[in-house]
Chain A
């Protein structure tokens, strides 16, 4: 069984478009995260939700809007895509907010042309 899943795996789109990435976890965890991995493989936190409540918003442009319909799902919507948004986006989850290991999804490679 896949613990943390993301769709789609690959996303190729043009500048100015709006796109969404979906994430689901079946671990029963309360907290979910979005990370961005740039071309140098550096992973950086973007957002965190605990039981549908926003906990972390790390100076991300407001073109990025996370949405958590329930504690098992955390989606990422991106408006007006720019070239610099090209990266791999990872969803993760942990049992509780504030501590403990995080389990990552397989990633979504976004390419903006």
Chain B
């Protein structure tokens, strides 16, 4: 069964304190791995897509990496506005397009 597990569930950082979020997955043929950001009361906002092991994508203070079993979202020198829930999802190569989400990591960055 396709599955996504994110850790930690919650993370508190001081402003400027870099860290990483983990997304472990099992999927029958990976079509893509997606990272989303979700603010309270809003819909998930697309951040990155990774397609193959070794691939990396960057956006401002965020960098996503992918291996055959997991993905990391590295946050460098975070700011309070980076506080949100970060969701990881996989899409299998079964051609239906559905995303299988992890439970998310809630990040709080304190000034």
Binding site for B on A (CB under 8 A): 4, 31, 33, 35, 40-45, 48, 55-56, 58, 90, 92, 94, 96-107
Chain B's interface: helix, strand, loop or mixed, by majority? strand
- Which of A4, A48, A103 touches B98 (beta carbons < 8 Å)? A48
A70 CB to closest chain B CB (Å) equals 19
Binding site for A on B (CB under 8 A): 31-32, 34, 36, 38, 41-46, 49, 85, 87, 89, 91, 95-101, 103-104
Contact A42 B96 (CB under 8 A): no
Contact B98 A45 (CB under 8 A): yes
Please indicate the chain A residues that have their CB under 8 angstroms from the CB of B38 in the complex: 41
Cα distance, A107 to B89, chains bound together (Å):
18
Given A104-B45, A106-B43, answer yes or no on A56-B32 (Cβ-Cβ < 8 Å): no
Task: Kindly list the 8 A-B residue pairs having the minimum CB-CB distance in the complex, ordered from nearest.
Answer: A104-B43, A98-B95, A43-B101, A45-B98, A104-B44, A98-B97, A101-B46, A106-B43
> Nearest CB to that of A42 among chain B residues?
B103
- Which of B32, B34, B96, B104 touches A97 (beta carbons < 8 Å)? B96
Please indicate the chain A residues that have their CB under 8 angstroms from the CB of B41 in the complex: 107
Contact A90 B44 (CB under 8 A): yes
Please indicate the chain A residues that have their CB under 8 angstroms from the CB of B97 in the complex: 31, 33, 48, 55-56, 94, 96-100, 102
